[in-house]
Amino acid sequence: MKASVSKSTTKAPQGRRTQEKQPEPAIASQIDFGPLKGHFPYYLRRLQKNFRTHFSASVGDLGVQARDVGALFAIGLNPGLTPSQLGPAIFLDAAQVTSLINEFSLKGWTERRVSSTDGRSRTLHLTPAGKKLLAKLEPMINEIDKAFVEGILTEQEETQLIGLLSKLLDGRQKISPT
């Protein structure tokens, strides 16, 4: 699946800010960013924003955002996770997880159930609608990633980049697990 990304402003669901129009590459290349040109977070933030736009255009009207995918797969592949287990797994704090799970519940993708081992605890499960969404997303994920780097990185460079990012994340987790 090859996705095309629109340069126009996209309308976000109610309660979310609309995405601003991306600056034209020619304009961005004319602006002096000084030491940021060698600053790692500068590139991560710009790539993340660019990927979110690409992802939204690629999935169309499924109503899912790039940030949702990890949580949905974690819940779908590990039914019975608690919110407190999900948070660290997807690098969100408790308030963010609660907000995300509430949003998923409103969309009909997940449900909370009373834990069979601790009646005070709730576990997370995909609903039939959530399972259907995951079934649609699963074959799309690799294609979305490939379309994002297509014509820019070779397969070997893509594999190397993912390996380096994974190595960096693992190393940072050992130094600072938050």
pLDDT in tens, 65-87: 988 999 999 999 999 999 999 99
Residue 107 lies in a domain: yes
Residues of the chain with pLDDT under 70: 1-26, 28, 177-178
Which pLDDT score, from 0 to 100, does residue 114 have? 87
**Is the C-alpha dihedral spanning 27, 30, 34, 36 positive or negative?**
positive
3-state secondary structure of 174: helix
Residue 126 lies in a domain: yes
State pTM to two decimals: 0.74
Owning domain of residue 92: 66-131
Which pLDDT score, from 0 to 100, does residue 16 have? 42
Residue 95 lies in a domain: yes
Residue 52 lies in a domain: no
- Taking a C-beta distance cutoff of 8 angstroms, is the pair 46, 54 a contact? no
**Is the C-alpha dihedral spanning 166, 171, 174, 178 positive or negative?**
negative
Count structural domains, the chain: 1
* Residue 123: both structure tokens together: 């576990």
Which helix (H) or strand (E) segment holds residue 124: the answer is strand 122-126
Residue 60 lies in a domain: no
Which helix (H) or strand (E) segment holds residue 110: the answer is strand 110-114
